Amino acid sequence: MRRDFQEPARCRPDLVIGREELFSAARERLASGGSVLLHGPAGIGKSTVLRALAAENCFQTGTVLRCSATESESHLPFLALADLFGLVLDRIADRLPGAQRTALESALTGRGESTLQRDGLALRLAVLSALRALAEDGPVLVVADDFQWLDSASAELLGFAARRLGDTSVRMLCAVRTEAQEYDRYLRACPPDTLAVRLGPLTRAQVSALLDHRGYGGLPRSTVRDIHRTSGGNPLFALELGRALAENPTPPRPGEPLPVPTSLRALVLSRLDLLSDEARRTLLVASAGARPTAALLHAAGRDHAEAECAQAAELGLLTTEPEAPAVRFAHPLISAALYAEAPAHERRAAHAALSTAASDPIERARHLALATIGTDPDVAASLAEAAALARDRGAPSVAASLGLLAARHTPADGNPDERRLQAAEDAITAGEVDLARDIAREVLTRATVPAERVRAWMVVIEAAGQALGDVDAVFPQALADAGDDPRLLALVHYQLAWRALVVEGDFAEARQEAAHAAELAARAGNRRTELMALSFQASTETLMGHSNAPVTVKRALQEPQDPYVACHHNGAGAARFRWLLMSDQLPEARTTISALLREVRRRGMVESEVHFLRALAETELLSGHCGRALDLARESLRLARDSGIGEGASAMLASLAEASAGDVERAEALAREAAAHAEEDGDQMYLSRALAALGHAQLVAGDAPGAVVSLRRVRELEAGLGITDPARGRWHGDLAEALVRIGEVGEAQEVIDTAREHALRLRRESVLAVLDRAAALVRAARGDTEAALAQLTSAQDRLAKLGYGLEEARAAFSLARLRSGRPGPTSYDEAARLFRRCRALPWLRQVEAAAQDAGAAAAQRPAPAPAGLHSALDSLASMERQVAGLVMEGATNREIAARLFISVKTVEATLTRVYRKLGIRSRVDIVRLAAGRHAK
């Protein structure tokens, strides 16, 4: 079967969602002539990956042989062999020895009743000879799916041939269903160089991407979380659960189990009928419990729990862990399917038993609610108390679920909307913004009390995240509902401050709105809102470079404090951290942000955790701990994508970390992703930061023109925003360096002068040192090498004292490159040592390349030019003299660009001017001048 797959997998990346790394490993093994065995449990995606790999490889393969067995056909001998060779036998039959051809034809057609017992050797040799004959016409790929269902005769023959193929251009691509690591016996049926690749469960973010691709997107993140947990990350199970939800006209309410489709129930509960009725009831109680143990089952009235659990374990429904007291289902879906299969009255009975058996008050309250029908003020009060306890324990997601249960059991005259709004605020804290938004909008359909309506509007605004432009219509309605109540107005004006910053990009208006909100809150005695508004005002003033920033930070930190505000990502602690970081107090900033991160993790504040992971990564990056920064940035990005919070900002910081310690191409991709998020959200503030990250990545990658384009836009955006503090984005040195590299020395000096004026006013010592490094490059480009060397040496020393390890290393690198253009020995050892200490791998690779180029240039450098030659160069400009001089030394255009911090295109343009002024035609003529001969 030739070229039976028509679409290359690289055009269909959806086929391997979440499998990129193992897909690459399998692809490389196949490309090198090896074979691959994919293995894992049912539904894990083996066939999907196999099809994608086969589709990609069939275009480089002469012949593709394919079979896909089923359990019902596994007893039919030679069926897989017929699938593989049935359509190609005519091509090779005349190349097989007679006895082998007869045996193979008999096996494939069923004529002659061939058997392995009677024709074993002939058949074995025939399969081997057939593969070799096909390989003579070009590479052969054998694709076998569901290898476990191959009939035993075909499997035996394939294994025999596979072990003897040697260097023949025959590869095998197989997929087999296995549990745990039981794939060895299948590996023995493959060539000796076969790579075994186990497919594991998908992450929550990958499950979300898979559901979106298959048309089940738009689900609340809390629902996606439940799908991931219930499916155990199995793609097939997740898709079936997503389909069931899409087809269900009444989706489950928060806290309720997911609907499990009949197809999955049949798949995982096929052995349930073998259990006794009592054992089945025991498993139902276990499925209803959060952390079931034998002791809990006994307390719930299941007197023979141990024996019944042992029976279930023998059937593969439970896993046995002798050292652990917990009762664990073999797969989460078994528990979900068992619960979904049970009648409603049996579920309520199980919860009623657990409501008295559970020792944890939160668990008791939850079970009591699920065992109760209709409203009940006592049950509602118990649930509200349990929600408060969960909140104190740092489990806001649990608190939100309990709060909704409390509202459901609260009578109409008991104000259930108050409990719904509290649940929505808990959901915001937990990062479940979709759930929070849905709750708030439901409350707004019927609420008439202004305080409740404004509170609901605040949830809607908070749930919008950075996309505040999407909820523009909310603000007039919230102001109308607030009336003249200063407490409610303070809440609205605090959000208006954010809108001014994010949507309008107006720092001055944002600062004014925040100050007004703080004043209104103080008048109303609302300390929490007052502190949040002061913190926002302080952060805005810090970014603006406003002289009042330190004073406002102190006001926000004054007692009495609110514990929630103290650790919130927009609270006083975060404002102080930002001020410390921009004021070059790196150790204090690290201590502050580390303490904040610990506290929000304890409280379960997901959005704040995303922010603080990013902030700590930024601190470590500035300190030169690039490897640590990369780990933290990647963790922040994973959490952001998992929760759907702050994805753009986390991608931006991850880009900076990747450019310094990871992969530069990935850094550029992440920066573009961050910019796209900001553009989509209309977020001018983070757009400038994303573009600054892109410019930095382009500079590290050697794309100076691209860096200039990106960073010039940053300069325009920040000028429009009113941002004057150069410590906010720290992009000015990068822009100046990139401008020098493309020959725009005058503009580079303008960037440095403007930034230096603000840095001097605000006493940003690290920024001044970086600007001096850039100014030294300008001096070097203008020919003032001695002054440039002195300025670079000073900048490096100052950066070292301030603790900016990466910037110190960059200054050392610039020094080494500048010295490499002068007579005498040059060493890149210091720069390499500093970058190695920082774990700044992309920079280290640049140092190694520069050192290698310098060594090669030194070996090829001709004798010094005659003294009289310099008079011929007097007519040249400074840059032209430097370029001509380096050409005389034998430097290539690339080496000249690296030494002078300019682009190769600038070198070429400069040489064209040199040729014209000296009346010569090429660099060869310059070399002749250096040797004292006249150009012909």
Please write the tens of the pLDDT for every residue from 546-555.
888 889 989 9
pLDDT for position 820: 75
Tokens of 552: 């406002």
- In this prediction, residue 173 carries a pLDDT of 94
Find which of 243-257, 498-512, 611-625, 905-919 is predicted with most confidence, using mean pLDDT.
611-625
For the segment 91-119, what is each residue's pLDDT rounded down to a tens digit?
888 898 888 888 888 888 765 555 555 66
Cα diameter, the chain: 108
329: left (phi over 0), alpha (psi -120 to 50) or beta: beta
Rounded distance between C-alpha atoms, residue 890 and residue 733, angstroms: 31
pLDDT for 597 equals: 95
Question: Band of the pLDDT at 675, cuts 50, 70, 90?
Answer: very high
Predicted confidence (pLDDT) per residue in 66-87, tens digit:
988 888 788 888 888 888 998 8
In this prediction, residue 520 has a pLDDT band, given cuts at 50, 70 and 90, of: very high
Q: Is 594 exposed, middle or buried (0-12, 13-18, 19+ CB in 10 A)?
A: middle
Q: Which residues contact 794 (CB under 8 A, 6 or more apart)?
A: 772
Contact 204, 14 (CB under 8 A): no
Q: What is the pLDDT of residues 174-226, one digit of tens each?
A: 999 887 556 777 887 888 889 999 998 998 888 888 888 888 877 777 788 88
> Rounded CA gap, 882 and 774, in Å?
19
For 138-175, b/e burial (b = at least 16 CB within 10 A) is ebbbbbbbbbbbbbebbbbbbbbbbebbeebbbbbbbb
Write down the pLDDT at residue 872: 58
All residues at 6 or more sequence positions from 562 whose CB lies less than 8 Å from its CB, including other chains: 527, 528, 531
Which pLDDT tens digit goes with each residue over 453-509? 999 999 999 998 878 888 999 999 999 999 999 999 999 999 999 999 888 888 889
Average pLDDT for the chain: 86
Interatomic CA distance for residues 835 and 841, integer angstroms: 7
CB 689 within 8 A of CB 664: no
How far apart, in whole angstroms, are the C-alpha atoms of residue 833 and residue 847?
10
Tell me 545's DSSP state. T
Q: Rounded to 10 degrees, what is the CA torsion of 247, 248, 254, 255?
A: -110
Lowest mean pLDDT among 672-676, 701-705, 863-867, 875-879: 863-867
Within a 10 A sphere around the Cβ of 729, how many other Cβ atoms? 22
Contact call for residues 572 and 534 (beta carbons, < 8 A): yes
Two tokens, residue 771: 């600007």
**Mean pLDDT, residues 116-126:** 76
Q: Which pLDDT score is estimated for 165?
A: 87
